[in-house]
């Protein structure tokens, strides 16, 4: 059903010269070049700018370089490299405390890092420059490619080359059907296979695989969407943390947060979502046996929340991977601990402190430490009001009996115990300087002593009372032990756009990698012997083993409708079964 021949041998017209044996004709090169949808700048090396360029020439040359695909890839690689210091060096926007610790630990290196903005990588001048140049480069790549692609969609596939035998896949046969009938059958067959096809003179020309370039464009547009989403998220984001004890509540205002950070364009007065919630109780259960002992099984906060200033109260449950969503804000459960309830009285029996004291866990079994500060304290022998402070260690399940240490062996409240060490003096809060509420500054305080001069400290069980020396009062560890939970309230306006961009980028990349752009030509002309010579050829943008198979399948379909003639053709044009690739 086909004939095999050297690609250099002519099938029509005069015999080719020596150069035609190695170089394709202009119309064939044009067909191959027009099949490629890449801009010419990406397919040819850009020559260096001549020294005689003026300002306009240099600007045009710079723009061509910036919007080339090579430079876009280089900028993308530079952006990924520039992000590495943001992961290795502590960032001010994430944790100022770690930055301060880095300055203390590296007195020589830290100022150098600060000069090159390594503590503010993502808002630095050099990172922003790479980011903006990549953004411009991608837009400059996409706009001309988009117009070119639109033009290709609006135009018809080009006509068949003069010599189809030079195409990578080719087959031919003779049939008794008329040329018009063959072209009609070929046109219907190709359109049924979802080719864009039309009749051009003596041939049917068809093209398929436009989604390859569409996928390429979608991928690059998705990168721009991702860049915009990340920029929006950094500029307009907000994130704050709050520790709430059972029975307490929270209102989404700036003064309610324990810590808060936001993007440079976030309006702290107007952009916070109006809502509030109350922590009714925290429910936590843990595995009791086996290698998973102590692993949380139920870990959830039961809350009552309301939206807006006068919203109707609603019940809700926040779990680790199931945040509460209110408008554009999400409330995540990120931590849990215990708040022993204490009642502290002065020497006259007056209550100077009463309530839960949240302590921070130090291990997976919730061994917790912290400080209790009593501003009103007690009156000493001279009648002067003295402040009290206590360092505390709490264990939900005491495991240090007979070992002289405080540690927990299980995170549940099986055998709670509290160890207190008391101090008296000045807490340092009157200086107006910020303090860590979970740490006790003892520089201006004196530890209570026993009559023998040893430090005064005591371990208490629920319901027990510790009497302070020198008539300073007493501390009672109440049986009502409350639990607390820490929540993170965040607004990330670019998250959904980033997700959509990531999905689109994956789909676009898959389309550009796995869809092949190819053209099929079917030529049917009347021969001198009265039969119709049918030629079919295919050309793909990139090498693919599937093109010969696809052409063979199309040829087989068309051959069943226009079969090989029963009249033997001339000896020099005898058909040979098969397709050449």
Q: What percent of the chain has pLDDT over 90?
A: 48
* Beta-carbon count within 10 A of 438 CB: 15
Beta strand extents in 426-570 (DSSP E only) = 445-447, 457-460, 465-468, 473-477, 482-491, 518-526, 532-540
Task: Name the CATH topology of 1-25+161-208+516-581.
Answer: TATA-Binding Protein (3.30.310)
Spatial distance between the Cα atoms of 547 and 544, rounded to a whole number of angstroms: 6
Cβ proximity of 407 and 367 under 8 Å: yes
Q: Please name the residue ranges forming H helices in 201-305.
A: 211-236
Least confident of 56-65, 290-299, 352-361: 56-65
- For residue 327, give the 3-state DSSP assignment: coil
Taking only the tens place, the pLDDT of each residue in 397-413 is 998 776 667 889 999 99
Residue environment code for 567-576, b if the CB has 16+ CB neighbours within 10 A, otherwise e? eebeeeeebe
Residues 6 or more apart whose Cβ sits within 8 Å of residue 371: 389, 390, 391, 392, 437, 438, 439, 440
Would you state the torsion angle of the CA atoms of residues 183, 189, 192, 197, taken in this order, to the nearest 10 degrees? Answer: -40
Paired strand residues for 392:
370, 420
CB-based contact 447:455 (threshold 8 Å): yes
Angle at Cα 138 formed by Cα 132 and Cα 139, nearest 5°?
90
SS3 letters across 94-138: CCHHHHHHHHHHCCCHHHHHHHCCCCCHHHCHHHHHHHHHHHHHH
User: Whole-prediction pTM value?
Assistant: 0.68
Pairing of strands 196-200, 203-208: antiparallel
Strand 203-208 relative to strand 249-251, pairing: unpaired
* 30, containing H or E segment: helix 26-35
Q: How far apart are the first and last CA of the chain?
A: 14
Q: Average pLDDT for residues 424-442, to the nearest whole number?
A: 81
The ranges assigned to domains in the chain are 1-25+161-208+516-581, 28-156, 235-332+486-503, 339-483
pLDDT of 359-374, one tens digit each?
Answer: 999 999 999 999 999 9
Q: Is 247 left (phi over 0), alpha (psi -120 to 50) or beta?
A: left
- Complete DSSP assignment for 504-526: HHHHHHHHHHHPPPEEEEEEEEE
Q: What's the pLDDT score for residue 502?
A: 93
Statement: residue 1 has pLDDT above 60: no
Decide: helix, strand or coil at residue 427.
coil
Strand partners, 424: 388, 446
**CA gap 152, 208 in Å, rounded:** 12
Whether residue 11 is predicted with pLDDT greater than 70 in this model: the reply is no
Say if residue 495 is exposed, middle or buried (CB neighbours under 10 Å; 0-12, 13-18, 19+): middle
pLDDT digits (tens, 9 = 90+) for 198-215: 998 899 999 998 888 888
> Considering the chain, what is the average pLDDT of its residues?
84
Residue that wins the pLDDT comparison between 454 and 484: 484
Q: Do residues 390 and 364 touch, judged by C-beta distance below 8 A?
A: no
Helix (H) or strand (E) holding 203: strand 203-208
Asked if 226 contacts 501 with a C-beta cutoff of 8 angstroms, the reply is yes
CA atoms within 13 A on the CB side of 512: 17
What does the pLDDT look like over 29-76, one tens digit per residue? 444 444 444 444 444 445 555 556 678 888 888 888 888 878 888 998
The answer on pLDDT for 581 being more than 50 is no
Q: In this predicted structure, what is the pLDDT of residue 269?
A: 82
Asked whether the beta carbons of 537 and 167 are under 8 A apart, the reply is yes
Angle at 76 between CA 505 and CA 135, to 5 degrees: 75
Q: In this predicted structure, what is the pLDDT of residue 36?
A: 46
Helices and strands (H, E) in the chain, number of each type: 12, 24
**Tens digits of per-residue pLDDT, 115-152?**
999 998 988 899 989 988 988 888 888 888 888 888 87
CA distances from 385 to 41, 425, 447 (A): 82, 9, 16
How many CB atoms neighbour CB 547 within 10 A?
21
CA–CA gap between residue 111 and residue 106 (Å, rounded): 9
Q: How confident is the model at residue 569 (pLDDT cuts 50, 70, 90)?
A: low
Q: What pLDDT does 411 receive?
A: 95
User: What's the pLDDT at 24?
Assistant: 46
């Amino acid at each position: 059903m086909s004939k095999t021949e050297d690609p250099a041998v002519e099938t029509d017209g005069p015999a080719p010269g020596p150069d035609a044996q190695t170089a394709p004709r202009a119309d064939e090169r044009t067909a191959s070049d027009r099949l490629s949808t890449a801009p010419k700048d990406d397919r040819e090396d850009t020559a260096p700018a001549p020294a005689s360029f003026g300002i306009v020439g240099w600007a045009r040359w710079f723009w061509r370089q910036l919007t080339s695909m090579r430079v876009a890839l280089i900028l993308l690689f530079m952006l990924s490299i520039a992000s590495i210091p943001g992961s290795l060096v502590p960032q001010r926007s994430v944790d100022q405390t770690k930055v301060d610790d880095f300055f203390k630990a590296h007195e020589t290196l830290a100022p150098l890092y600060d000069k090159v903005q390594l503590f503010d990588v993502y808002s630095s001048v050099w990172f922003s420059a790479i980011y903006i140049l990549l953004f411009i480069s991608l837009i400059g790549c996409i706009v001309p490619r988009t117009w070119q692609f639109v033009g290709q969609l609006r135009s018809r596939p080009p006509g068949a080359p003069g010599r189809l035998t030079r195409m990578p896949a080719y087959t031919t046969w003779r049939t008794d059907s008329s040329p018009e009938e063959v072209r009609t059958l070929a046109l219907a067959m190709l359109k049924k296979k979802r080719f864009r096809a039309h009749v051009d003179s003596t041939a049917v020309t068809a093209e398929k695989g436009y989604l390859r370039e569409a996928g390429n464009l979608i991928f690059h547009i998705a990168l721009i969407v991702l860049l915009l989403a990340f920029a929006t998220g950094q500029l307009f984001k907000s994130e704050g943390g709050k520790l709430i004890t059972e029975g307490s509540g929270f209102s989404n205002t700036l003064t309610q947060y324990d810590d808060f950070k936001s993007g440079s364009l976030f309006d702290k007065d107007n952009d916070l979502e109006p809502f509030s919630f109350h922590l009714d109780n925290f429910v936590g259960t843990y595995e009791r046996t086996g290698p998973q002992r102590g692993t949380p099984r139920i870990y959830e906060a039961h809350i009552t929340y309301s939206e807006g200033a006068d919203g109707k109260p609603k019940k809700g449950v926040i779990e680790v991977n199931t945040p509460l969503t209110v408008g554009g804000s999400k409330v995540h459960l990120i931590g849990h601990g215990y708040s022993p309830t204490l009642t502290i009285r002065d020497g006259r029996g007056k209550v100077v402190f009463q309530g839960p004291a949240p302590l921070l866990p130090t291990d997976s079994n919730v061994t917790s430490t912290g400080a209790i500060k009593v501003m009103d304290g007690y009156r000493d022998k001279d009648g002067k009001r003295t402040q009290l402070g206590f360092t505390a260690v709490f264990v939900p399940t005491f495991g240090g009996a007979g070992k002289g240490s405080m540690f927990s062996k299980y995170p549940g409240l099986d055998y709670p115990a509290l160890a207190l060490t008391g101090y008296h003096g000045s807490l340092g809060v009157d200086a107006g300087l910020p303090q860590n509420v979970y740490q006790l500054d003892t520089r201006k305080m004196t530890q209570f002593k026993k009559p023998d001069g040893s430090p005064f400290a005591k371990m208490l069980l629920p319901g027990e009372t510790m009497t302070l020396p020198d008539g300073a009062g007493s501390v009672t560890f109440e049986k009502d032990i409350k639990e607390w939970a820490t929540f993170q309230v965040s607004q990330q306006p670019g998250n959904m756009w980033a997700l959509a961009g990531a999905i689109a980028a994956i789909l676009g990349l898959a389309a550009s990698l796995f869809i092949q752009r190819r053209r099929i030509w079917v030529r049917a002309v009347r021969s001198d012997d009265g039969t119709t010579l049918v030629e079919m050829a295919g050309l793909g943008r990139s090498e693919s083993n599937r093109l010969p198979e696809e052409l063979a399948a199309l040829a087989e379909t068309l051959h069943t409708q226009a079969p090989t003639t029963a009249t033997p053709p001339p000896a020099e044009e005898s058909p040979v079964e098969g397709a050449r690739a």
